[in-house]
Structure 1
């Protein structure tokens, strides 16, 4: 299977550059199972599309203001994009500079303090920050929200709230779990009144989610690592929902990746740790019965995941419909409600390291 099998043409003007005035004003493309016709609805219609006893599972990760700027002693400008916070005010990060940075290089930070390059870990640098206080608290004061590269503007004052979900609580992501951005308190209240339950996992979305696949044979792709936590309470919620005949509905591909990573023996279990799971057609997603997700980049691993869930041809047809009817794409764009295809295979995912 080739990367090019997941290509589609997207007019640049359909890439949403800013959020709508209201979170729940986004459109929702419903892709029913089988050959049913696509439905053009809205996120606000979710309470009538779901059933009492269904369980929505959200990713409660919180985005770090992970982009900071500085300069070397030589004067060369450096952009730091933190990938992972580590103990001892250390971090794994990408560095944008005119030349590679050697161990011992010190970066004078615009927000005050310095960062020292300790070494390399693959595509990332290991840095130690000498700043006022704990690194996470310093970033809240001095860091910049890392909007995705396809948003062609600088972050504004409104992004600090709108690029976080309303239920974000566990700090550690460098990108938002964007399907959750559509939910506001009013919509959550209507879903509760409908009898829909809520559960949470944590998966700290990494910068690798935006990195393009550099090989055409998808089996040769090296998947990035992300940290997740599927707790015992969520496992109990899922079991109770299924026992009562309800459906488990993931809000976002990050939730699917978390739940599938917590099913090593085919049954959901509590799990906290790293995952490099790569889900693509040929793998049967067992953890969820439906999926709310945004539209994804052409030839991306996330497009491959939703194709595994609903079928590649079905997904590409839905994307063609979305382009034709002018849906908004990517992080600040519109959403889909997907159901599984009947022809999902039952094979293991590809798990690769970087």
Structure 2
């Protein structure tokens, strides 16, 4: 069993991040970012294009191919005031993001509403070329609203509606207006499945050139999908982790990828980004759930935040992945859909991942806890080095390769 991080104090994961160290804009060239290389307690400075040379031989890189949607909708009231509706996750007719994005005519989403006080009553509308989308409040729940959207032309999908009249949700800490470049630069070059409200930013450094070099070096790569939620930016407000509720995110992985992971066990499996790492480790725990309860219903495939710390004598990684494959075969499905609230913090034992490609994260964040789970107290040394050597921080910032 893993040591339980419930008693961890978030004040132990603080460092001083000056405002000027936050990268407000992307670099002109994606792959020219700095790369901090941490291996067995040693630290060296590189450029991201060196990554293929630095990865251990026989590595399998795992990418998150989620695509950021233009989830911010700015509605104007007849009086001219603006009300912003930020789509968080679908509620009906589908809770699954993939299906919700293909929905036509109408749908209901859980949303944040900015300037809600200005929205006295009645529906709000946005007119776009050849159509209109209407928003109506169905209910208010803790911290958010259920908003029903209807639109014409009715045959448009919700993805197309967002594409035509939504805005990209940049991270709040960038504290600036969108620029045209953000539309392409706040997406990875391999983004495919629409549904994230934040980019898996470790992937923003990859270019076709770097991908070709990886292939030439015999480094394999594979893709899964975790739709990154707004909760990824949520600072930990609780004194200890026990009272911090992790946000849930939707995960989708193909049978082919699970088989590939199983085949690769014993060699380095390296996720690109914290979302890929959380996905991979969640797959292990989903396999463990099914290993214990083979008859779990698809809607019960969910990793709760403390599951990894409460499971007694869980199976070996190979057994957990094989259990997932058997489950998919029994259900005759090529794709596993699940959700995860996994929290990876010091005390966690990694089941699949052997390293990480990642950016530099906010103080007091669950992402920093994840880094500390991987490299222990050395996270302080890594972040001190990055601060002392002009690394750029957060979403548009520089990168690191961490090999404990």
Shared fold, TM over 0.5? yes
Alignment of 1:165-244 (within 5 A): 165-242=188-265
SS of match in other structure, 2:353? coil
Quick one: distance in 2 between partners of 1:223 and 1:122?
15
Contact 2:10 2:364 in 1 (8 A): yes
SS of match in other structure, 1:113? strand
Aligned position for 2:25: 18
Contact 1:101 1:117 in 2 (8 A): no
Alignment of 1:119-138 (within 5 A): 119-132=139-152, 133-138=156-161
The farther-off stretch of 264-273 and 133-142 is 264-273
- Could you list the per-position Cα deviations for residues 176-208 of structure 1 after superposition, in whole angstroms to 9, with x for gaps in the alignment? 000011101110001001101111110000111
In structure 1, runs of 5+ residues without a counterpart are 341-354
Contact 1:85 1:172 in 2 (8 A): no
Residue 115 in structure 1 maps to residue 135 in structure 2: yes
Residue 323 in structure 1 maps to residue 387 in structure 2: yes
Residue 297 in structure 1 maps to residue 365 in structure 2: no
Match of 1:32 among 31, 39, 43: 39
For residue 297 of structure 1, report the CA deviation from its aligned partner.
0.4
Contact 1:129 1:135 in 2 (8 A): no
TM-score with structure 1 setting the length: 0.89
SS of match in other structure, 2:109? strand
Rate the CA distance shift 1:122–1:285 in 2: closer, same or farther, 3 A.
Answer: farther
TM-score with structure 2 setting the length: 0.79
**Structure with greater proportional helix content:** 2
Match of 1:253 among 270, 274, 291: 274
SS of match in other structure, 1:262? helix
Rate the CA distance shift 1:123–1:105 in 2: closer, same or farther, 3 A.
Answer: farther
RMSD, aligned α-carbons: 1.9
SS of match in other structure, 1:187? helix
Match of 2:10 among 3, 7, 10: 3
For residue 53 of structure 1, report the CA deviation from its aligned partner.
2.3
Quick one: distance in 1 between partners of 2:261 and 2:399?
24
Aligned position for 1:343: none
Aligned position for 1:81: 86
Match of 2:74 among 65, 69, 77: 69
For residue 11 of structure 1, report the CA deviation from its aligned partner.
1.2
In structure 2, runs of 5+ residues without a counterpart are 1-7, 94-105, 289-314, 326-335
Contact 2:281 2:353 in 1 (8 A): no
Alignment length (residue pairs): 334
Residue 97 in structure 1 maps to residue 162 in structure 2: no
Residue 306 in structure 1 maps to residue 329 in structure 2: no
Quick one: distance in 1 between partners of 2:257 and 2:185?
26
SS of match in other structure, 2:52? helix
Aligned position for 1:275: 340
Aligned position for 2:350: 285
- Could you list the per-position Cα deviations for residues 293-325 of structure 1 after superposition, in whole angstroms to 9, with x for gaps in the alignment? 0110000011001111111x2101110110111
- Could you list the per-position Cα deviations for residues 230-251 of structure 1 after superposition, in whole angstroms to 9, with x for gaps in the alignment? 3221111112222xx5311000
SS of match in other structure, 1:213? coil
